[in-house]
Amino acid sequence: MVLIDLMTSKESKWSSSKSILSIIGDQKPYSCYQCAKCSSGCLSAELLELMPHQVVSMVKLGFLDEIASSDIIWSCAYCLKCVERCPQDVAPAEAILALRNIAFKKGIKTPEGYRLILENVFETGWIQSIQPVISRDGEIYVRDDLKLPRKPEISNMDSFREALAKTLGEEI
């Protein structure tokens, strides 16, 4: 028996569904009974086409390629509220993280913002550069104005870049 999505005429791939189960580990997507408690606390709910409980349902049905190639998995803030709220210990966030890994391994293009963050980390060692603060009155303050400590310097940037490149499997 083959399951077909009637809206898109896509066939599910049960073997792919089994592969994600091995990646997820202890979480049990098949225990999900779609109560939507995970979705009720989702910080990214407004950005998602599918709520966390619907993503779990798609995983259970084997529609991994469709989810992995959509922006749904990249919009998750990974706040883990879905994990905390689930009465069945399903952990939709872990499924989404596994889908991100699958998408990356398949060469599916990641959103531009992820590449920019990675470039910034590689160049400066920081996810985001220090930005001025704007008060409610519209006044702009920098760190020195607020008597905040200076941003710590990375002691050995070259070894940091080498370690990062090695982790990513790339040459410098």
For the purposes of burial, counting CB atoms within 10 Å of the CB of 127, is it exposed (0-12), middle (13-18) or buried (19 or more)?
Answer: exposed
Close Cβ partners of 11 (under 8 Å, ≥ 6 residues apart): 2, 3, 4, 5
pLDDT of residue 13: 56
Three-state SS string over the chain comes to CCCEECCCCEECCHHHHHHHHHHHCCCCHHHCCCCCHHHHCCCCHHHCCCCHHHHHHHHHHCCHHHHHCCCHHHHCCCCCHHHHHCCCCCCHHHHHHHHHHHHHHCCCCCCHHHHHHHHHHHHHCCCCCCCCEECCCCCEECCCCCCCCCCCCCCCHHHHHHHHHHHHCCCC
pLDDT at residue 1, rounded to an integer:
36
Question: So what's the pLDDT on residue 107?
Answer: 87
In this prediction, residue 3 carries a pLDDT of 44
Mean pLDDT by 10 residues, the chain (172 residues): 50 59 70 93 87 90 83 90 92 89 84 86 86 91 88 87 85 56
CATH 1.10.1060.10 domain span(s) along the chain = 4-105
Q: To which CATH superfamily is domain 4-105 assigned?
A: Alpha-helical ferredoxin (1.10.1060.10)
